[in-house]
């Protein structure tokens, strides 16, 4: 018997999760990490949890931006340009929060992640119906 009986299920999930599901999951995780920082805000100082949440969020958006810049990206040019602009906004907002932490500044990043995840979920549902 394996040491951890959940491992085979975790392995199967990793092998069967779609790219769209991964994108949704990482956006939702980033939103949750940022929300936790906002809910547990003590003062306007930068701390380890906030640093981890901001960096995780930024890594996600960096990956998305690389995909949107790629010539292989199937999205229409105008949509890619709009998404790249959002990505630059996320980067600027993240740097601003790191330099001048304020609880309320996290809201925009949280909402962007939640809205993008919702859009991807709707896309997934529509493709499942087709």
Task: Report the candidate in 85, 93, 88 with the shortest Cα–Cα distance to residue 110.
Answer: 93
**pLDDT score of 37:** 96
Domain boundaries, the chain: 20-129
Please tell us whether the domain made up of 20-129 is placed in CATH 1.20.120: yes
The model's pTM = 0.82
What local confidence, expressed as pLDDT, does residue 9 receive?
Answer: 46
Query: Which of 11-25, 45-59, 74-88, 110-124 bottoms out in mean pLDDT, i.e. has the lowest?
Result: 11-25
- Mean pLDDT, the chain, whole residue set: 89
* Per-residue pLDDT tens over the stretch 5-45: 555 545 544 555 788 999 999 999 999 999 999 999 988 88
Determine the Cα–Cα distance for residues 22 and 6; give it in Å rounded to an integer: 20
Name the pLDDT band for 95 (thresholds 50, 70, 90). very high
What is the number of residues in the chain?
Answer: 130
Q: How far apart are CA 54 and CA 97, in angstroms?
A: 8
Could you give the angle at the alpha carbon of 88 between the alpha carbons of 82 and 79, nearest 5°? 15
- Report, as an integer, the average pLDDT of 111-127: 92
Looking at residue 61, its pLDDT comes to 97
């Amino acid at each position: 018997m394996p040491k951890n009986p959940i491992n085979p299920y975790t392995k199967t999930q990793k092998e069967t999760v779609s790219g769209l599901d991964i994108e949704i999951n990482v956006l939702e995780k980033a939103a949750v990490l940022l929300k936790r920082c906002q809910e547990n805000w003590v003062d306007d100082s930068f701390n380890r949890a906030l640093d981890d949440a901001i960096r995780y969020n930024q890594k996600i958006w960096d990956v998305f931006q690389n995909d949107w810049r790629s010539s292989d990206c199937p999205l229409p040019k105008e949509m890619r340009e709009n998404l790249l602009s959002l990505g630059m906004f996320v980067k600027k907002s993240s740097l601003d929060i790191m330099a001048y932490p304020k609880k309320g500044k996290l809201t925009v990043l949280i909402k962007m992640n939640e809205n993008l995840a919702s859009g991807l979920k709707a896309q997934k549902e529509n493709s499942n119906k087709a």
